[in-house]
Amino acid sequence: MWKEHKFRCLSKRRRGLMQLEIVVSAFLLGAMITSIVGLNYRLLAVAKDTKHYQIALHEAANQIDSLRAGGFIGLDERIAQAKLPEDILRALPGGKLDIQKKEDPSGTQVVVRIAWDRPGAPTAVELVGWVLNMEASK
């Protein structure tokens, strides 16, 4: 009888420890799931921001190519008429195009800057291209 009572007490203690282990395991699992969801949310935001940066970079390169394609003659007019296409404006929230022309010893420097609204620190893509004056290069 004494052995039977001792066995029941040990069994109750073991059940209590198992319940405690289950509660701790459930807490750890919940904390891990919460961390993974938070990291996934941040990863999606970084991927979206990277996509915006890539779109702006490609568009800035396209703008430089179109400005250089016409040569030096009529460059000021092409700069004044340059604007972001509608699909780029839809892709980049609050997208703004700024083009500046600067004289450089090696030619005319064209600076294309595309900025857009983004949470956190504002950023912009800026590319530089040169349009050579054919008369100066002869």
Is 84 within 8 Å of 114 (Cβ atoms)? Answer: yes
* Domain ranges (residues) in the chain: 2-137
Could you tell me the two tokens for 112?
């294309």
Return the SS3 of 124.
strand
pTM of the predicted model, to two decimals? Answer: 0.69
The predicted model gives 111-134 an average pLDDT of 84
Instruction: Express each pLDDT in 42-64 by its tens digit.
Output: 898 888 888 999 999 999 999 99
Report yes or no: 131 and 75 within 8 Å, Cβ to Cβ. Answer: yes
Strand residue runs (E) in 52-134: 96-104, 107-115, 124-131
